[in-house]
Amino acid sequence: MKLERRLSQPWWLSVAVPVGSLVVAFAVMGVILALTGHDPGETYRKIVEAGFTGNGALSATLISATPILFTGLAAAVAFRMQLFNIGAEGQLYLGAIGASWIALQFGDRDVTSTPLFVVAMCAAAAALGALWALIPGVLRAFARTNEIITSLMLNYVAGLLLTYLIFDSSSYWRDTSTLQARSFPQGKPMPDASNWPTFGSSVVVPLGFLIGLAAALVVWVLYSRMRFGFEVGVMADSPRAARYAGMRTRRKILAVMALSGAIAGIGGASQIGDFTYTLDGSPTGLQAAAFGYTGIVVAALARYNPFAVCLVAVLIGGLLNAGYTLQGPDFPSGLVGVMQGIILFCALGGELLLRYRLRIRRPRTVNPVAEAAS
């Protein structure tokens, strides 16, 4: 067997390889489930029912899919430039802090001002998320500091900040109005006008999910139809060529990090406006959901294509949702993370088939010497 580099990729391969990786991943997971004494068929049937086909399952899946749609886009935008921002987790927290501040600040309005709230909350969240992402961005651009470690360290700092605001201070976000709230720390509830609307009746679509789809469209236009994306591609493939062509690498690093952080930040705004309606500072709440890390899985499986991110977010969202719903003695905890890891391993292994052609050498039937002689 031999590997040969492909000069061109047939179009069907970029669909077949991710789908094939998913199938292989489910097979591998099936083996693990069987080895640990679970019936794989039964477990998968439960996952599909709880994630997609059951009553109201799709609406619940969209709730899980919304945050990872944002963090997936955030990762895709940065990873495309070989800029490994794994700080979407912290940028999402900062977005949630910003959005909840706006909602509390302009609280006593009536429901007709909801559109204004949506815009203002998204803007504040995007700004804070972008600022948080610019810390590793600036360090990378001007001090050449490894952005992987700095962005990751800031996730822990952002998580501690969240806990501090609700648990260890009498901050603006903390609810101190009742005796109960003073002894069991919790965030202030958001005013009704700041709660985002939902659409649809049989399948409830949160506004945040639609904003995420719009963001995917914007990212696609920016990356596939504009100079911005072209330059990002050149810098990813050959930083040296980009420099010779006079592209401003530093400026682009800052722009891409800010864009990535802003998208993750809006994901935080959607958490506040769509789902929780309060700033959740508990280490077992928003911080335990690990939306930022799941976003990396989504982005990698989508091969950093913004439209594929939307689809994959719903798929992985279904898996997450099934994990929450089925939590209990018959459903192994940690299964969802293991599953994500295996899917990602298979997708990474599958990349090889996109870039290389597997050649199985057969013995030659014609003797080249005899051929030349004749």
Which part of the chain contacts other proteins (CB under 8 A), choosing from 123-131, 207-215, 265-273, 329-337? 329-337
State how far the Cα of 277 lies from the Cα of 96, in Å rounded to an integer.
10
Is residue 150 near other proteins by the rule CB under 8 A?
A: yes
Which part of the chain contacts other proteins (CB under 8 A), choosing from 52-60, 224-232, 265-273, 294-302? 294-302
Is residue 28 near other proteins by the rule CB under 8 A?
A: no
**Closer CB to other proteins, residue 290 or residue 311?**
290
Query: Which position among 9, 113, 164, 359 is part of the footprint of other proteins (CB under 8 A)?
Result: 164
Is residue 36 near other proteins by the rule CB under 8 A?
A: yes
Which part of the chain contacts other proteins (CB under 8 A), choosing from 114-122, 150-158, 271-279, 362-370? 150-158
Binding positions for other proteins, 71-100, rule CB under 8 A: 79, 84, 86
Query: Which position among 139, 205, 210, 247 is part of the footprint of other proteins (CB under 8 A)?
Result: 139
- Report CA 103 to chain centroid distance, whole Å: 25
DSSP character string of 126-148: HHHHHHHHHHHHHHHHHH---HH
**Closer CB to other proteins, residue 86 or residue 126?**
86
- Nearest by Cα to 340 from 311, 310, 299: 299
Query: Which position among 30, 109, 127, 163 is part of the footprint of other proteins (CB under 8 A)?
Result: 163
Beta-carbon contacts of residue 355 (< 8 Å; ≥ 6 apart): 5, 6
**Closer CB to other proteins, residue 157 or residue 311?**
157
Query: Which position among 96, 298, 300, 316 is part of the footprint of other proteins (CB under 8 A)?
Result: 300
- Identify the bridge partners of residue 3 per DSSP, sorted by sequence position: 358
State how far the Cα of 232 lies from the Cα of 236, in Å rounded to an integer.
6
Judge whether 155 and 90 are in contact, CB under 8 Å. yes
CB of 300 to other proteins, least distance (A): 5
DSSP 8-state assignment for residue 205: E
Q: Look-up: residue for tokens 């969802």? A: 336
- Helix (H) or strand (E) segment spanning residue 69: helix 57-79
Is residue 337 near other proteins by the rule CB under 8 A?
A: yes
The 3-state DSSP class for residue 259 equals helix
Is residue 222 near other proteins by the rule CB under 8 A?
A: no
- For the record, the structure tokens of 132 come out as 């948080």
Is residue 5 near other proteins by the rule CB under 8 A?
A: yes
CB of 25 to other proteins, least distance (A): 11
Query: Which position among 182, 224, 349, 358 is part of the footprint of other proteins (CB under 8 A)?
Result: 349
Taking residue 291's Cβ as centre, other Cβ atoms within 10 Å add up to 26
DSSP 8-state assignment for residue 327: -
**b or e along 260-278 (b: 16 or more beta carbons within 10 Å of the residue's beta carbon)?**
bbbbbbbbbbbbbbbbbbb
State how far the Cα of 292 lies from the Cα of 279, in Å rounded to an integer.
17
Taking residue 44's Cβ as centre, other Cβ atoms within 10 Å add up to 15
Which part of the chain contacts other proteins (CB under 8 A), choosing from 107-115, 140-148, 248-256, 361-369? 140-148
Is residue 68 near other proteins by the rule CB under 8 A?
A: no
- For the record, the structure tokens of 87 come out as 């700080």
Is residue 160 near other proteins by the rule CB under 8 A?
A: yes
Q: What Cα–Cα distance (Å) separates residue 179 from each residue in 60, 188, 191, 276?
A: 33, 13, 20, 22
CB of 299 to other proteins, least distance (A): 9
State how far the Cα of 150 lies from the Cα of 257, in Å rounded to an integer.
13
**Closer CB to other proteins, residue 197 or residue 341?**
341
**Closer CB to other proteins, residue 79 or residue 223?**
79
- For the record, the structure tokens of 280 come out as 């959740």
Site size with other proteins, rule: CB under 8 A: 49
CB of 107 to other proteins, least distance (A): 27
**Closer CB to other proteins, residue 245 or residue 348?**
348
- Applying CB under 8 A, the residues found at the interface with other proteins are 5, 36, 79, 84, 86, 139, 143-146, 148-150, 152-154, 156-157, 160-161, 163-164, 168-169, 283, 288, 290, 293-294, 296-297, 300, 332-338, 340-342, 344-345, 348-349, 351-352, 355
